[in-house]
Amino acid sequence: MMRSLFSAVAGLRTHQTRMDVIGDNIANVNTVGFKRSAVTFKDVFYQTLRGGSAGTGDIGGTNPQQVGLGVTLASIDVVHTQGAAQPTGNGTDLMIQGDGFFVVEDGSGNEYYTRAGAFHFAPDENDANNVYLVNPDGFYVVDENGYPISIPTNALSYTIDRTGTVKYIDPTNGQLTDAGTIKLAKFANPAGLEKVGSNLYVTSAAAGDVQEGTAGTGDFANTIIIPSALEMSNVELAQEFSDMIVTQRGFQANARVITASDEMLQELVNLKR
């Protein structure tokens, strides 16, 4: 069989994967805190028809003769650029401006990381006296000490400032009381985090060591939390549609190679009648 057939099939498969990623990006254009992914290709191994040789006193050297055998995926990278801000007017909606992720925990104490700050206060069946700051899946937002952030059920009001500090007015004495400061986390390589759905990430060896802190301090000195706003997706439709056109043309070109190779094989078969 012709090598061009296998190369073109590899091209079809990789371009299909790229189109899958583009489709996911476009589908999540309005998903809070979503980060787009980008696909890169690389060539695969080569078949050497003739090796290269060094020159002598009489003749020059020759270059190797190699035929490539197609393309494969090099990487699918998550692009962690800042998304646009969308004001909501809801005091528990929070947006990170700068580096970092919110840290949330499930009921088993497993940590997840997210840029989607669509939080709300919800009751807990094990604690009738307090309501807890949670994400849409009910995971607890934790403070700098790793404890879930909560306020009394009968608190008169609450505020969340630019450092992520949650305060409420104690109904017993009318005093403004600190309920904790929202913990942030960041990684040397945030693209190494693994997506698990629901706008959540989990750490991996590729992400590096986690750095934890609070907005406006230490490693997060240039990070602030904006209340009553959400970070929208960083998907740019113009970029995605341009990539879609390039991907579609690449897919079509590889399909044409298969068609041309098939015609050449047909001519070869027809040599014997």
55 or 19: whose pLDDT is higher? 19
pLDDT (0 to 100) of residue 57: 73
CB proximity list for 238: less than 8 A, separation 6 or greater: none
φ, ψ at 163 (rounded to 5°)? -90, -5
* Extents of the domains making up the chain: 3-51+63-80+235-269, 85-231
Q: Is the pLDDT of residue 141 over 70?
A: yes
**How many residues are there in the chain?**
273
Buried b (16+ CB within 10 A) or exposed e, 79-106: ebeebeeeebeeebbbbbbebbbbbbbe
pLDDT (0 to 100) of residue 214: 96
Residue 160, exposed/middle/buried by CB under 10 A (0-12, 13-18, 19+)?
Answer: buried
* Nearest in space to 192 (alpha carbons), one of 79, 108, 116: 79
Read off the pLDDT band of 107 (50, 70, 90): confident
DSSP per-residue letters across 233-258: ----HHHHHHHHHHHHHHHHHHHHHH
Q: Which two structure tokens, joined as six digits, stand for 120?
A: 């709300």
pLDDT (0 to 100) of residue 23: 97
Read off the pLDDT band of 273 (50, 70, 90): low
What number of H helices and E strands is found in the chain? 2, 21
pLDDT (0 to 100) of residue 51: 84
Residues 69-87: what's their mean pLDDT?
95
CA angle at 237 for the pair 253 and 184, rounded to the nearest 5°: 120
Cα 15 from chain centroid? 20
3-state secondary structure 157-219: CEEECCCCEEEEECCCCCCEEEEEEECEEEECCHHHCEEEECCEEECCHHHCCEEEECCCCHH
- What is the residue-averaged pLDDT of the chain? 93
